[in-house]
Amino acid sequence: MHAALTCIARPFVAAITVALLGSALLVAPGAAADGVSVSTILKGYDRPVLVAAPAGSSRRIFIVEQTGRIKVASWSGSAWVKVGTFLDLRSRVKYDGSEQGLLGLAFAPDYATSRRFYVNYTRKPDGATVIAEFRRSSTSVTKAIASSYRTVTTISQPDANHNGGMIAFGPDDQLYIGTGDGGGAGDPAERAQSLGSRLGKMLRIDPRDPDGSGPKHYQVPSANPFVGVSGANPQIWARGLRNPWRWSFDRLTGDLWIGDVGQGQWEEVDKSRANSSGTAAGKGRNYGWDYCEGTHQYEGNKDCHVYGVQPVQQYSHSDGCAVTGGYVYRGPDYPAWQGVYVYTDYCSGRLWTLDSSGDIIGPNAGVSTGRNISGFGEDGAARLFATDLNSGHILLVKFSGTPS
């Protein structure tokens, strides 16, 4: 079972976790009474996995449901309220109740004028990953045009698990795509390390249509690290990932934080710093899988304490089973917590906070939320939200006191 653990698998494991933990509060990173917490702001969603919003949209959020719909909610006076369905992709999406489905959403940097946005889903009937473009209605900010569908790129998936799912525009306005290693225990086909495979990678493309009705669907930026390398796919930005289910860019520094779901023993959080221009985080990096699971040797003879990108944090399966990567908080409501990275484990429901160096703030136990947090997300003002997969709740991440 552990060979296929991801952030959105094993509801029965999650149910046991919740039953054992309930709503008990363990020692919070940051302080016992002060620190990070979550509270429900919306209910009734069907396996929510992500919250997203266009730049500048501080009073409207979009909720991605794994089963194939994107919903809209807005701030109305003193509470968040449901608005309706933004886009229904259930006729296209293959959802198997585990790791497949509608998994990612990203709004173009010029969304306000172009109305372009992108989704990541596994398609019917074969489960291949599809990155597709849509446009929002020109007359309604809460409706997408289903007929505006355009395929950007398709990635074959040999198995139903380890699909990755997160997509996001980086500080350089390029689209980044996180892919899992293709599934199967231990990356048996060695895809994560292979420069000839797009699986187990961070990819980087310009998703805009370069030639109208022509044969091209996207462009490869010339600065990608493996452009012109014999046998390498030019889309590749970084390699050596097992299943980067959720990752994010720090909107202030451009640093890249990745929660890479582990195999049978270790979960890890990786950080790659941006350059002085706030771009290029992770360029050409190797995150180590499947030679290494965290800093622990998995196969081969690599010294995993020095090989590749070293995780800033790792934890064993005694503390959970699948990391849900988070965000660096840059919101307006808790200035003392600016620059703190928040992440969790899907099975244990524990929340941790890290400083900019990746060190845990406060004691190590984490806050137990009693939740199955499948994803995080920001609104346009960088307020931080989370999704509880099994209850269907949308959560607001809150802080109290000061980090210590």
Predicted local confidence at residue 24, as pLDDT: 31
Residue 367's pLDDT band, with cuts at 50, 70 and 90, is confident
For residues 213 and 190, what is the distance between their CA atoms, to the nearest angstrom? Answer: 36
The yes-or-no verdict on residue 147 having pLDDT over 50 is yes
The yes-or-no verdict on residue 14 having pLDDT over 60 is no
The yes-or-no verdict on residue 34 having pLDDT over 80 is no
Select from 181, 184, 183, 176 the least CA-distant residue to 199: 181
Number of separate helices (H) and strands (E) present in the chain: 2, 26
Q: For the chain, what are the domain ranges?
A: 2-22+42-311
Predicted local confidence at residue 242, as pLDDT: 98
The yes-or-no verdict on residue 346 having pLDDT over 60 is yes
Select from 297, 294, 300 the least CA-distant residue to 241: 294
Contact (Cβ atoms closer than 8 angstroms) between residue 167 and residue 177 = yes
Residue 3 per-residue DSSP state? G
Predicted local confidence at residue 363, as pLDDT: 60
Helix (H, G, I), strand (E, B) or coil at 20: helix
* Tens-digit pLDDT profile for residues 91-135: 999 998 789 999 999 999 999 999 999 999 999 999 999 999 999
Over residues 215-237, the mean pLDDT reads 98
* Tens-digit pLDDT profile for residues 168-177: 999 999 999 9
Count of residues for the chain? 404
Residue 25 makes CB contacts below 8 A (sequence gap 6+) with 367, 368
Residue 20's pLDDT band, with cuts at 50, 70 and 90, is very low
Helix (H, G, I), strand (E, B) or coil at 321: coil
With 0-12 / 13-18 / 19 or more C-beta atoms within 10 angstroms meaning exposed / middle / buried, residue 121 is: buried
Question: What is the fold, at CATH topology level, of the domain defined by 2-22+42-311?
Answer: Neuraminidase (2.120.10)
* Tens-digit pLDDT profile for residues 287-312: 999 999 999 999 999 999 999 999 99
Over residues 168-197, the mean pLDDT reads 97
* Tens-digit pLDDT profile for residues 71-85: 999 999 899 999 999
Q: Work out the percent of the chain whose per-residue pLDDT is above 70.
A: 91
For residues 295 and 288, what is the distance between their CA atoms, to the nearest angstrom? Answer: 9
Left if phi > 0, otherwise alpha if psi is -120 to 50, otherwise beta: which for 307? Answer: beta
Predicted local confidence at residue 260, as pLDDT: 98
For residues 17 and 3, what is the distance between their CA atoms, to the nearest angstrom? Answer: 19
